[in-house]
Each structure stands twice: as structure tokens, then as C-alpha cells.
Structure 1
Amino acid sequence: MEKTVIKTGATVDEAIEAALSELGCTKEQATVEVIEEGTEGGFLGLGRKDAEVKVTFNSEEAAEETSSSAESDDTYYGDDESFEGDAVSEAEDAAANFVAEVLSGIGIHGNMDSYREDDTIYISVTGSDCGAAIGRHGETLEAISYMTNLIANKHSEQRVHVYLDVGGYRKHREQVIKGLADKAVTRVRRSGRKVVMEAMSPAERRIVHSYLQDVPGVSTHSEGVEPNRCVVVTPVEKK
């Protein structure tokens, strides 16, 4: 299926990058037509004109190219076979292509598996030196996940959620968070007082709330302002 967008920017390259980001594809997968080169203008930028480009992405051709190069070690590819043909959603394709482009751009190469289950798209990337895509306390991974969710939902009529894990970080972090939650519950039961956990991202706080929602004797809520917002575990009086 062919998609076309027209974008402007301070330079031609800026306009092209904006178009590729919206389409969720690489420059190699797209046809670029420069409508306006743009000019810098004179004193204080007076008379400056933005560059304007028309970028077209053919998802079917891109899928064929991905299939033909799937054996390369430096190429991301999804090898899950539970979805074939029309069952592979456009949103999943767009999300996977975007993640592959971003990670390739920061020099991370490896294998990528993706599949869709109900309204969730799962993307898992494995490879060496994935640290640059994770960042301090997973901040970079959260940023990539946020952008990937935006891309996926632009290509879906129904709301979808992308669960992205790189180098197994999210799975490992989830286990650590659950361990911290267990310790917080133990402290609450021993002291009878509320326990404020460490500052966490919104996604990590959701893990705690979900994990402890059925635990008897405690309740949870969040307090504070980002990025220092924390989960508070509070004792619940028995009736």
C-alpha cells in the first residue's frame, strides 16, 4: 500500500526526516521528491523560505525487501510466524520498521521479533551493545517506546499498545520492580505505616499498581511530580 506525505523544514534533510518519521520507514524504502529547496533569507532571516518535500512509501515493496534480506546479520527482522499474510497488521509493520530504523541509526544491529496479541504489539530486540538504546534507568528505551506507540497508532483504526523490550532490559527491570514491591509490602505489614518507594517512570509505576492490586492488607497510589513521582504502599485496616 502506497502512502505519501508532504513536509516542510528548515532544510531539505530536516523535511525528509520529518516525513520518514511520520511514515515509519527508512530513506531507502521511500521515494523523495524535492518541491522547494528553501532559502536562508537575508538579514535576520527575512525572506527565508522553508524547504518542502514529497515522500512516498510503498509498504508492500518494503516488505519484499525486508524478506529478501532477512538472512543478513546486520538487518532487523521479525521471525514470528504466528501471523501471516493479511493477518500481519499495518500498525505492527510500521512499529517494527520504526524501531529498526532508530536502532540502526544509533549503531545497534541484531535480531528483532514482533507479534500482535489482541490490542498489544510485542517487539523484542536482541543483540550486543544494546545499552545506547536503553539509557540511564531505561529513559532512552521509554522515549523510543513512546514514539513507537505514536507511529503504530497512526497506522491503526483501533487503539493499540506497543510493548518494546531491548536486550531483555524491560523483562529484567520488571522482576526487580516486583521484588521492590514485595519488600515494600513486608515493611508496611511490619511497621503498620505507609512506605514510599523509589521514583519510577509511569510504566514502572503501573507494574507496581497492577502487581499489588490483589495483595490483601495494602493499597497503592502515586504521589509527587515527574520525574520524581513515586508509588506509595499504604496499610489497609481490616474490617
Structure 2
Amino acid sequence: MKRVTMGGQTVEEAVEKALAQLHVPKEAVDIVVVQQEKRPFLGLFGGKEAVVEVTISNPFFCVESFLKHVIEQMNVRVNLSCQAEGDRFVVSLSGQDVARVIGRHGQTLNALQLLAQGVLNRCTDRPLHVVIDAEGYRKRREETLVRLAKNMAKKAIQTGQDISLEPMSAWERKVIHTALSDDERIQTFSAGAEPYRHVVISLKR
């Protein structure tokens, strides 16, 4: 867990400085007062500043707080439901404007998940992951990608030519690779640079 030790003229000031350095809300941390402030004798000497140790105890709360802020800034009517599942923080979105949060082929949803993962990485040293879904979109998208992979694999076998798919996110490319991993007739690999990285399906030579 990430922590900082910070000094200030008062305990409250030291805590605020620590929170600003960690970029987290107060609800996500544990605070230990290492040293209370001591006013200087006659206002001249002997004074000591307050010292606190602030530790991020709930990195998932940091992610939830961040997502609530982003959704508020997007001005969309979306409900947020969060649940910790082992080393994963699963976020489910629902509501009237959920389509706007998903975006074309899930691009907005993927970008939101990437940003949330960055916040989580900043708040913990542990290998934790954020998964954001919106009314079962990822499951439906996975089923669509598997069908696409199977159809394009058949086309590659019939024509003998390489098939290049449209640019996809890392998660979507992994779905394609996994869907075709057991087919001994073909091979898949990723080509191109982000954001145009895509999967190529070809016959095994």
C-alpha cells in the first residue's frame, strides 16, 4: 500500500498536503499522527510542526470516486455499481444514457476503463485490475467477436489469403486470438501501432 509522511503547521494541514500528494480523497486513507504540532515558546523558539503518516487503505474507493467525477463531468444519467472480487474491481454501469458511455464499438467504455486502471495503479503497488461493463455490453461484444473470428477464419481457409480485421482494443484482440487458438489450420497475430493495431488471420504454412 502506498503511503506518505508529511509535515505541516497543524495536523489538518499535514493531512491535506498528504492527500494532495497522493491525489486521493480522505475516505480512501488511514491517518496516523506521528507528532502533534507544538507552538513555539513565547512565539520564538521550541516549536514543532505536526507530522502524519497517510496510507491508502482502499484503492478501489479512489477508482469509484474518480469514475463518479468523470460521469458527472460527462453530464450523463448513468448509475454506478461497484464490487470488489478478489484482485478485480468490477464496475457496472446502467441507466438512460448508458449508450453514450459505451460509445462506438465500446471505445468510450474502453477509454474509461484505461483511465480508471491508471488511477488504481497510482493508488496501490498490488497487481489489481479494473473491469468496467455497461448492461452486459462486454459479454455481447465478446459473442460478436467470436462469431466474427470464426467467419473470418473460414474465409481465410477458403481463399488462402490473409484476413486483416478492423483496429481493436487489446481486450478485443485477445478475444479473437483465444477464439481461434485451437484451430490448427490458421494462426493469428497482431499488427500495426496503436490506435490502429489489429488482428491478422492467416493460414499456417
The code of the aligned residue for 1:58 comes to E
- 5+ unaligned residues in a row in structure 2: which ranges? 4-14, 30-56
Q: What does residue 104 of structure 1 align with?
A: 72
Q: What does residue 91 of structure 1 align with?
A: 59
Shift of the 117–197 alpha-carbon distance from structure 1 to 2, 3 Å rule, reads same
- 5+ unaligned residues in a row in structure 1: which ranges? 8-18, 26-56, 61-88
Q: Please, what TM-score do these two structures have when normalized by structure 1?
A: 0.59
Q: Check whether the contact 1:126–1:168 (CA below 8 A) recurs between aligned residues.
A: no
Q: What does residue 59 of structure 1 align with?
A: 28
Match of 2:165 among 197, 201, 205: 197
Whole-angstrom CA distance in 1 between matches of 2:28 and 2:200: 46
Q: What does residue 19 of structure 2 align with?
A: 5
Matches within 5 A, 1:1-239: 4-6=18-20, 22-23=23-24, 25=25, 57-59=26-28, 90-237=58-205
Whole-angstrom CA distance in 2 between matches of 1:118 and 1:6: 28
Shift of the 114–210 alpha-carbon distance from structure 1 to 2, 3 Å rule, reads farther
Q: What does residue 43 of structure 1 align with?
A: none
Whole-angstrom CA distance in 2 between matches of 1:91 and 1:101: 16
RMSD of aligned C-alpha atoms?
Answer: 2.7
Q: Deviations over 1:55-94 (max 9, x none)?
A: xx2337xxxxxxxxxxxxxxxxxxxxxxxxxxxx722222
Query: SS at the partner of 2:71?
Result: helix
Whole-angstrom CA distance in 1 between matches of 2:178 and 2:129: 17
Percent pairwise identity:
28
Q: Which has the larger radius of gyration?
A: 2
Whole-angstrom CA distance in 2 between matches of 1:230 and 1:155: 31
Q: Deviations over 1:126-148 (max 9, x none)?
A: 11112332233322222211110
Q: Please, what TM-score do these two structures have when normalized by structure 2?
A: 0.68
Higher RCO (CA < 8 A, seq sep 6+):
2
Shift of the 133–6 alpha-carbon distance from structure 1 to 2, 3 Å rule, reads same
